Amino acid sequence: RRRHLHPGGGLGGDPSVIRLAMAGGEKPRLDKAGNLVVGTPGGDVVLQAPRIYQEIKGDRRAITGRYVLQAGNEIGFEVGAFDRNRPLVIDPVLVYSTFLGGSSLEEGVGIAVDAGGNAYILGRTFSANFPVTPGAFQSALSGPSEDLVIVKLNPTGTARLYSTYLGGSAGEEGHAIAIDAAGHAIVTGFTSSTNFPVVAAYQSMNGGSYDAFVAKLNPSGSGLVFSTYLGGSFFDDGRGVATDATGNVYVTGSAGSGNFPLTPGAFRTARFNFSAAVFVTKLSASGALAYSTYLDGSATDIGLGIAVDVGGNAFVVGKTASSNFDKTPGVVQGTFGGTGSLGVGDAFVAKLNAAGSALLYSTYLGGSGDDEGRAIAVDSAGNAYVAGSVWSPSFPTTPGAFQTSRSAAFIPDLFVAKLNPSGSSLVYSTLVGQIFNQLGGFIGGTLAVNGAGNAVVVGRTILSAYPTTADALQPAAPITSNGGSENGFVTMLNATGSALLYSSYLGGGGPDGAHGVALDSAGDAYITGSSWSG
């Protein structure tokens, strides 16, 4: 894990006293790149060559250094000259990367991580031979169309703790995953199956052609705690999911049905017209309906991401083409920015109270073209961080931001913005770089925030057109060998949105894309997506 050395007594600024003890594997060795390699029965575990730096006036200054093998399977550090009046950071990053798939098409769409460092991946598969584990809830593909897959990996990425299909005989798409404190995986998406597996369901039958679903899997992956349809007579889709400290589940998405299940006393219980509305639904830990409401205007509105604070307030991000979308006074942007040639409209950010009965704030976020919010996170102070895609040349940015103007007129940019707890001002708003079509394709859950207020975003980008940092895993676009035109990326912004702490491509010859990101307590990033690269 990352080690911060401060001047003074004790460790005091003397990195030579640090030791890493390695147990349970073969004798450690160093490869030609200076990475530390330890052989295990599950394969090699690799600690990248340490990245050593000092942060001075907001800039990260690299310090030379390397691992040194010591007696007794211990590892030390050799560090070059540094300012002993400032903290020194030695960052040996534990890295693993693995394929997950069968003989057909797979895509990872969302990821979450628990307190023990276990990673939970939600994906979709067309493979009848996707690798599942003994005792899994569903061991076979249920039909000719795609099924969901949910996989739990151990902290080193060397073993599947469970792997299961989830689906009915028609088609499903999963869009988001969350983990509660007990290790239950909660997933949402949509299904056209009339036999999607339901347990302790609020709604046990498909209400129409396509329904949203919410399913909660037990910690061993062997059974469902609850699983329910959530929809009316038309097309409804779950796009984002979150959970609170007591296990309540919050879902948002798109409700095309005028008879979507709603609750008395909810903020909005009727749509404007036949266009799609945002829905926000809260379920108890056992799957009972706590509240369910629309957020709406007279055009198409879709919720794409959701987060919840310690008070049970739900934060929703998405896109709206409505000039009369539900909004509140005194917010960042009270007026609709406009709609471009794509007909998307503006991003929106809304905060709903714990009862689902009132908006604490709701604001547009957009310019005169097409902009959309795709992911959201909330910090302990109640600030909301949102990310999405920007086509508008007039998208609102803040002075001193990393990038304040569009990269090109014909390719969208990624945006990341931080709103204060009342939604009345932007703490920062910045563009980052060109992305491929939309942030993470049609997937939510592409933003995470650490305890220091640094935002991590992932997605797809056009090759050679995205800003990276010199010390990144892949600072330059991978060489294209098969005509791939896109690559994954992972970027961390500093707490003020003024600089990139790191930014890297993630992929091979392409096309590849990163679709989901989660952070553990140490700040390590866990990423899932899709790869066509060998």
The 8-class DSSP code of residue 471 comes to T
**Mean pLDDT value of segment 306-328:** 97
Closest CA to 323 of 313, 335, 332: 335
Q: Point out which residues pair with 302 in neighbouring strands.
A: 319
C-alpha–C-alpha distance, residues 259 and 366, integer Å: 30
Question: Confidence class of residue 13 from pLDDT cuts 50, 70 and 90?
Answer: low
pLDDT at position 443 = 42
Q: Say if CB 300 and CB 276 are below 8 A apart.
A: yes
C-alpha–C-alpha distance, residues 186 and 440, integer Å: 20
Going 249 to 255 to 260 to 264, the CA torsion angle's sign is positive
Residues 102-158: pLDDT tens digits? 999 999 999 999 999 999 999 999 999 999 999 999 999 998 889 999 999 999 898
The mean pLDDT of the chain is 90
The 8-class DSSP code of residue 347 comes to E
pLDDT at position 42 = 55
- For residue 486, pLDDT beyond 90: no
C-alpha–C-alpha distance, residues 258 and 340, integer Å: 27
pLDDT at position 406 = 93
Task: Write the DSSP string, 210-277.
Answer: BEEEEEEE-TTSS-EEEEEEE--SSBEEEEEEEE-TT--EEEEEEE--TT----TT-S--S-SSSS-E
Residues 444-454: pLDDT tens digits? 458 999 999 99
- Name the token pair of 279: 């829905």
Collapsing DSSP to helix, strand or coil, 15 comes out as: helix
**Mean pLDDT value of segment 247-259:** 96
C-alpha–C-alpha distance, residues 18 and 20, integer Å: 7
* C-alpha distances out from residue 95 to 78, 211, 316, 515, Å: 21, 38, 32, 18
- For residue 534, pLDDT beyond 90: no
Question: Confidence class of residue 442 from pLDDT cuts 50, 70 and 90?
Answer: very low
Query: Given the DSSP bridges, would you call strands 36-40 and 43-47 parallel, antiparallel or unpaired?
Result: antiparallel
With a CB cutoff of 8 Å and minimum separation 6, the contacts of 9 are none
Q: Say if CB 376 and CB 386 are below 8 A apart.
A: yes
Which string of b and e fits 101-140 if b means at least 16 CB within 10 Å?
A: bbeeebbbbbbbbbeebbbbbbbbbbbeebebbeebbbee
Give Cα 75 distance to the centre of its chain: 34
C-alpha–C-alpha distance, residues 24 and 156, integer Å: 13
C-alpha–C-alpha distance, residues 510 and 479, integer Å: 9
Q: What residue has token string 């703790």? A: 161
pLDDT at position 440 = 42
ω into residue 134 within 30 of 0, thus cis? no
Question: Confidence class of residue 10 from pLDDT cuts 50, 70 and 90?
Answer: very low
Give Cα 177 distance to the centre of its chain: 9
What is the SS3 assignment for 85-98? CCCEEEECCEECCC
* C-alpha distances out from residue 352 to 257, 306, 348, 386, Å: 21, 11, 13, 16
Q: Say if CB 430 and CB 404 are below 8 A apart.
A: yes
Question: Confidence class of residue 11 from pLDDT cuts 50, 70 and 90?
Answer: very low
- For residue 9, pLDDT beyond 50: no
Residues 156-205: pLDDT tens digits? 898 999 999 999 999 899 999 999 999 999 999 999 999 999 999 999 99
- For residue 48, pLDDT beyond 80: no
Question: Confidence class of residue 27 from pLDDT cuts 50, 70 and 90?
Answer: confident
C-alpha–C-alpha distance, residues 22 and 45, integer Å: 11
The 8-class DSSP code of residue 120 comes to E
Of the chain, the percentage scoring pLDDT greater than 90 comes to: 67
Task: Write the DSSP string, 317-345.
Answer: EEEE--TT-S--TTSS--S-----TT---
Question: Confidence class of residue 326 from pLDDT cuts 50, 70 and 90?
Answer: very high
Query: Which helix (H) or strand (E) segment is 144 a member of?
Result: none
With a CB cutoff of 8 Å and minimum separation 6, the contacts of 3 are 18, 89, 90, 91
Q: Say if CB 83 and CB 56 are below 8 A apart.
A: yes
What is the SS3 assignment for 391-457? CCCCCCCCCCCCCCCCCCCCCCEEEEEEECCCCCCEEEEEEEEECCCCCCCCCCCCEEECCCCCEEE
User: End-to-end distance of the chain based on CA atoms, in angstroms?
Assistant: 30
pTM for this entry: 0.85
